[in-house]
Amino acid sequence: MFRITQYMQSLMNPTPVGPARKPPGPVVIWNLIRRCNLTCKHCYSISADTDFKGELSTDEVYTVMDDLKAFKVPVLILSGGEPLLRPDIYDVSKRAKGMGFYVGLSTNGTLITEDNIEKIAEVGYDYVGISLDGIKDTHDEFRQLKGAFDASLHAVKLCKQHGIKVGIRFTLTQNNSHELPQLLALMDEYDIDKFYLSHLNYAGRGNRNRKSDAFHLTTRKALDLLFERSWSELKQGIVREYVTGNNDADGPYLLQWAEKNVPSEVDALRQRLENWGGNSSGVNISNIDNLGNVHPDTFWWNYTLGNVRERNFSDIWSNPNDELMDGFRQHPRPVKGRCAECQYLKMCGGNTRVRAYQLTDDAWAEDPACYLSNEEIGIEDNDDDRLDMPYNDNTSAKLIPVTRQQ
């Protein structure tokens, strides 16, 4: 997770740069159920409205929760599928809260209504993230359900009315990027606490539909918008969180923004970004799927580290003999191609390995979705030599030079 607002605050009100913080245990994103009332075109869990057999029972979830606590996991993000379809979701959530976890609910929002909002508020979630992937028809088409946008926006309003910290989660593609300004306008209209821009990852249906990924230039413009907005809100004393995920080039890109806009603070920002270190799959981020399989993050369901029915999460996570995890733990990671030579490797960590893997079968190849040009990352090769993005052939995407952003 790349916390734009936090870095912007450090640029506006500089404080001394502290040492790198090492979280006690990984954040666990837990897909408690795979069933979903939607079938989104990008869904990494390939969820659908069917019963997926063999999911963890309530008791099994509690046993795992105890182990996670003992392993000092600080945060549980309860996800799915649609987590509100799990009959025990409130009990599971309350237990997690009672044990002292920071508990987030990751939901499509369509099932949050007047009938259950009190129950949701009662849990005391630290954060509820509701996905909105465009306005009206764009969102409904993306999520393949007419009326989904209205239902999800209604859920946002209900959460606000009940004092729940709520955020919009938006997955950027070439098909919905034009509506980003309108989605950001909703932040003002409903005083929404957080905006999370998720870059498309190549997993599940998101991999099958990877040709819809945003052009590099589109991604840059989206980030420009978030940076300007966060900066201007902070200047007005408005504190809202803008964060991104799944493309760690966002760090160096912010550094470039600071070089132009707050040059006196660039050295401090560089240090902060290096302390952050970029991609943390398999280190500070982990995933347990609906069957109890453990993965380095949510986008690696094709790679299983072990199952919590057979071994403790702590044992699975700490296994020193797993090849992929060994790579994740290395500093720097054993990335290849332009990532290996990049001047920003320390702050981006080599970006998102699953995209490289899906395109090349090599988890350590360069990430094709890095939208920084070779010139920007400090290498001499021509950009034409880069790994191609999987854009639709009928677009001119490959013809847009990534350096032509100004």
Ligand X SMILES: C[S@@+](CC[C@H](N)C(=O)[O-])C[C@H]1O[C@@H](n2cnc3c(N)ncnc32)[C@H](O)[C@@H]1O
In the complex, the residues that contact ligand X under the rule CB under 6 A are 36, 42-45, 79-80, 82, 106-108, 131, 169, 171, 198, 200-201, 203, 206, 246
Rank residues 289 and 376 by Cβ distance to ligand X and give the closer one: 289
CB proximity list for 72: less than 8 A, separation 6 or greater: 24, 25
Please choose which of ligand SF4, ligand X, none residue 27 contacts, taking the beta carbon within 5 to 8 angstroms, the exact cut-off set by kind: none
HEC string of 166-226 equals EEEEEEECCCCHHHHHHHHHHHHHCCCCEEEEEECCCCHHHHHCHHHCCCHHHHHHHHHHH
Q: What's the rounded Cα separation, in Å, for the pair 198 and 195?
A: 10
Site for ligand SF4 contains 351 (CB under 6 A):
no
Interface region with ligand SF4, contact rule CB under 6 A, candidates 35-43, 265-273, 315-323, 357-365: 35-43
* Token digits of residue 106: 């990751």
Q: Which helix (H) or strand (E) holds 404?
A: none
Helix (H, G, I), strand (E, B) or coil at 78: strand
Say if CB 261 and CB 362 are below 8 A apart. Answer: no
Among 93, 108, 298, 405, binds ligand SF4 (CB under 6 A): 108
Site for ligand SF4 contains 39 (CB under 6 A):
yes
Q: What's the rounded Cα separation, in Å, for the pair 68 and 74?
A: 9
Site for ligand SF4 contains 40 (CB under 6 A):
yes
Site for ligand SF4 contains 168 (CB under 6 A):
no
Question: Dihedral (C-alpha) 279, 282, 287, 288: value to the nearest 10 degrees?
Answer: 180
Q: What's the rounded Cα separation, in Å, for the pair 319 and 306?
A: 10
Question: 165: burial class by Cβ within 10 Å (0-12, 13-18, 19+)?
Answer: middle
**Least Å distance between CB 39 and ligand SF4?**
5
Site for ligand SF4 contains 246 (CB under 6 A):
no
Q: Name the nearest CA neighbour of 296 among 340, 357, 358, 354.
A: 354
Rank residues 40 and 73 by Cβ distance to ligand X and give the closer one: 40
Count of residues that interact with ligand SF4, criterion CB under 6 A: 12
**Least Å distance between CB 198 and ligand X?**
4
Rank residues 47 and 374 by Cβ distance to ligand SF4 and give the closer one: 47
Please choose which of ligand X, ligand SF4, none residue 244 contacts, taking the beta carbon within 5 to 8 angstroms, the exact cut-off set by kind: none
Site for ligand SF4 contains 80 (CB under 6 A):
yes
Site for ligand SF4 contains 82 (CB under 6 A):
yes
Interface region with ligand SF4, contact rule CB under 6 A, candidates 43-51, 251-259, 270-278, 382-390: 43-51
Rank residues 38 and 387 by Cβ distance to ligand SF4 and give the closer one: 38
Using CB under 6 A as the criterion, which residues of the chain lie in contact with ligand SF4 when the complex forms?
Answer: 36, 38-40, 43, 45, 47, 80-82, 108, 143
